[in-house]
Amino acid sequence: MEKLSDRLVSWASLIDEKTVEQARTSSTMPFIYPHLALMPDAHLGLGATVGSVIPTLGAIIPAAVGVDIGCGMIAVQTQFAASDLPAHRREVREQIERAIPLSAGRHNRKVVATAEPRIAELEALAEAKGFDPASYAGNWREQLGSLGSGNHFIEVSLDEDDRVWLFLHSGSRGVGNKIAQHHIGVARRLAKQWWIDLPDPDLAYLVEGTPEFTRYIAELRWAQHFALLNREEMMDRVIRQVSEWVGTPVEERERINCHHNFTESEVHFGKRVWVSRKGAIQADVSRLGLIPGSMGTASYVVEGLGNAMSLNSSPHGAGRSFSRSAARRTFTHEQLREAMTGIEFRDTDAFIDEIPQAYKPIDQVMEDAASLVKVRHTLRQIVNVKGN
């Protein structure tokens, strides 16, 4: 850990000056307590740095949570070994692609039977919180069980003992994005209304005790739960497809589901604060978590060490070292194919901006995180599913 200022600490050995300056600016907000923590995967974000842990007293910065509220990972350990799997992996990739809507804007044509109880749970939760999610996205029910695009993925992986894991990454989809964008806009409007001078418009905040804050927390928590159930729904579909592929029902040995874009009320350094983790997972002592690499590198099942200076947090992935546009200018389709050698994936140049070389080396990120988590399992993907 490096102390960059009284209110900024960092675990990142690979970090550029623009990212440090963005985090330094965020750390000057008067309600940060006790300090902002940069994770090993930190990189430039909107307003607040991706890969940062931001504890606040009496206020929340909506952009510091991010627009994909509740984005996170889920993994299931199966009873299978690598030797139990059929040789033809393209079959299961295509089965998963048919079972789960992929790419931005894609959703289910109807609410399927497995999603019905989850939809009912979300309807009841929204009613209890006093809002209608359809005011943000009329088709939010059909969005449950869809993946999205960008760095979201579904994978079949093997651990260090060749045991089969199912692994996926997604969040609260379009409805969560619209909820986030609405409240970021509210915070900006209030800052202008009250002549609040901000170092960055995306650091606009909501003050605890106000109607705007209360509504944001209610809708944020709903979106976080939507994201969690969205991953559960997709994982259940993946399990069905893998069961059909292998010809044997999947037996779950372990299931882990964790957010990495979220806010929780927690006690740190003697005070109750709102902890916004924008690209970070909760890593209390013995808490299990998931840290993916890129589409062609290792991912990790980890156990938290409860590091107080990190606000009991750890990185959420490799972290980008090239922007999407820079990656497209720098790398080629052939380099992507080479990076994905031995992995079944949809071979298209649409994924050049997700090439592993566009991310920080995950091995270095995990080395930097050695005081935050310990590794329980190292996973290597053999099948990758992504949306354009």
Q: What are the catalytic residues?
A: 316
Segment holding 342, helix H or strand E:
none
At 48, list the tokens: 């607040």
Tokens standing for 163?
């045991």
Cβ 294 vs Cβ 363: under 8 Å: no
Cα angle vertex 258, ends 240, 148, to 5°? 60
CA distances from 64 to 79, 258, 311 (A): 39, 18, 16
CA dist., res. 356 & res. 197, Å (int): 40
Residue 47's region, left for phi above 0, alpha for psi from -120 to 50, else beta, is: left
Q: How many residues does the chain have?
A: 388
Gap between the Cα atoms of 152 and 230, Å rounded = 13
Amino acid code (one letter) for 201: P
Listed residue (133, 114, 314) closest to 221, CA to CA: 133
What type of residue is 347?
Answer: D
Query: Are 205 and 61 a contacting pair, CB within 8 Å?
Result: yes
DSSP state of 218: H
Phi, psi for residue 48 in degrees, rounded to 5:
-105, 150
Instruction: Print burial letters for 75-85: b (CB count within 10 Å at least 16), e (below 16).
Output: bbbbebeeeeb
Alpha helix (H) ranges present in the chain?
17-27, 62-65, 90-99, 116-129, 140-143, 173-193, 211-246, 324-330, 333-339, 362-368
CA distance 180 to 168: 22
The answer to whether 344 and 90 have CB atoms below 8 angstroms apart is yes
